[in-house]
Amino acid sequence: MEALISVPFSTESAVTFVIIATLSWLWIFRWQQRHRLAPKEWPVIGAAVETIRNFDDLHDWVLSYFQKGIKTFRVKFPGTMYTYTVDPKNIEYILKTNFANFPKGDLYHKNMETLLGDGIFNADGEVWRQQRKTASFEFASRVLRDYSTVIFRENALKVGDIVVGASQTHNAVDMQDLFMRLTLEGICKVGFGVEIGTLSPSLPAIPFASNFDNANEAVTYRFFDPFWRLKQLFNIGNEAVLSRSVKVVDDFTYNVIRTRRVELQSTEGENKKADLLSRFILLGEDPEQNFTDKTLRDIILNFIIAGRDTTAATLSWFFYLLGNHPRVADKIYDELHALDDDANVNKSQSLNQEMSEYATQLTYDVLLKLQYLHAAITETIRLYPAVPQDPKGILADDVLPDGTVLKKGGLITYVPYSQGRMKDIWGEDAEDFRPERWIKDGVFTPLSPFKFSAFQAGPRICLGKDSAYLQMKMASALLCRFFKFELAPGHPVKYRTMATLSMQRGVKMYVTRR
């Protein structure tokens, strides 16, 4: 017995024992997950490695788990738990029934704060309510609607002129670039009363736009990178890109604020309040509001991500789908061509003049009547929602209608990108582009916003939905009436993983006149 006790336990033996024990533990841990439908996890780091490895294809990676037959699953990350769902009952519970328990939350706010600050899409509580109340009043205004219609028509014609040139030179044109210019010009004029000249014939470089996209991607990466604060501290990697990009974005934004303030001082009457920024500047003159230029900066950038990125992304995917589905493009043309009798278009004019004359017929009321065009755009949003995932914070422990337990401090994310591809919601042809699914007896028929959740629902339902449709239908009607669009052979079309579903390399297309 004494001999046994005296046997030395060497350092090498101890190390070997620890290694064997650790490997055994990891093997058992992984073996227990062999039938797990959700992403596989590791101790401490959870599913961070798998998520980061699939970051460039994040939305399809998430979709792949839903396609295994589940409607809700959880993914563990260092310090928090993410829950993903496509179940309409869960989505209604999150967005409406128990809305108060699912704010944007501290985690979302901290990750997005560098770019979006305390703007409407990154705020909760009284800050959110105040901004939404003002924006809601403005979006309901007929004055803003009529003003928007005029601006959207003018900008659509500028895009049309550029497309005419591309059709004559037979050069491929990046439609996403044009649409990003279109919507940036639109939101700056309608939202902030400032013209920036992005649609001039020379197509000038837009440092703001590229830097805004880089910042958008960088803050999205934070959700899956446990080391982003360390990178921020040393200003390296994605955080260095974010810092440089936000500097350019801020310079542009504060210049817009300064310009509008100067213009307001020399503007009288109703024109003084025609745009959203002016409303907020005038509101900020009330000492109780405590509005600073930083407040206005946050407001501007939030409306830009809503008014530029989302609409431009949808238009880009729409024309991409038309290039792949000429049958749909022809049906849209037939609907638009039917307006010609009213438009009394003079065929002897130049194409630019012909478009200009036709555009005068594209009033708000006429655009409302374009049922098939509306359905085709909506079908695009179903398959390529501008906001592919929307995470919410969890204030208190909760249980979703499907029985999923939620813990305080985590994130619950509903996923429009995946939901639009669920066969149990949309049928066996869920992944097909078929605008007819929205038409009944010749009339567009909407579905529950909890099944078609791209515009949210409940208290946070998208305020700019009608304005977005107005701009998209104006541009689409003009372009689809006069041109055919064909995808450039070999050009790769893929999304870029960030808060909105923009294309990584745009969508290059050849244009011919109809």
Provide the annotated binding site for heme.
462
Report the SS3 class of residue 119: coil
| Gap between the Cα atoms of 391 and 405, Å rounded | 16
Retrieve residue 117's tokens: 């600050």
Helix/strand/coil (H, E, C) string of 397-410? CEECCCCCEECCCC
E strand or H helix that includes residue 392: strand 390-393
Distances (CA, A) of 386 to 39, 61, 231, 329, 378: 25, 18, 29, 21, 11
Q: Are 80 and 73 in contact (CB under 8 A)?
A: no
Three-state DSSP class for residue 490: coil
Q: Which long-range contacts (CB under 8 A, 24 or more apart) does 261-264 make?
A: 263/193
In the 8-state DSSP scheme, what is residue 32? Answer: T
Which has the closest alpha carbon to 271: 362, 150, 182?
Answer: 150
Could you give the dihedral angle defined by the CA atoms of residues 472, 476, 479 and 481, in that order, rounded to the nearest 10 degrees? -150
CB count within 10 Å of CB 396 equals: 11
A 10 A CB-CB count for 97 gives: 15
For the record, the structure tokens of 373 come out as 């065009």
Query: From CA 299, how far away is CA 303, in angstroms rounded?
Result: 6
Q: What are phi and psi of 216, to 5 degrees?
A: -60, -45
Neighbours of 426 (CB within 10 A): 20
Task: Please give the structure tokens belonging to residue 405.
Answer: 């337990």
Closest CA to 393 of 2, 71, 104, 58: 104
Structure token digits, residue 381: 């949003």
CA distance 243 to 236: 9
Between strands 80-85 and 508-513, the pairing is unpaired
What pairing do the DSSP bridges indicate for beta strands 80-85 and 398-399?
unpaired
For tokens 């729409």, what's the residue?
Answer: 318
- Binding-site residue numbers are 462
Tokens of 200: 């001039």
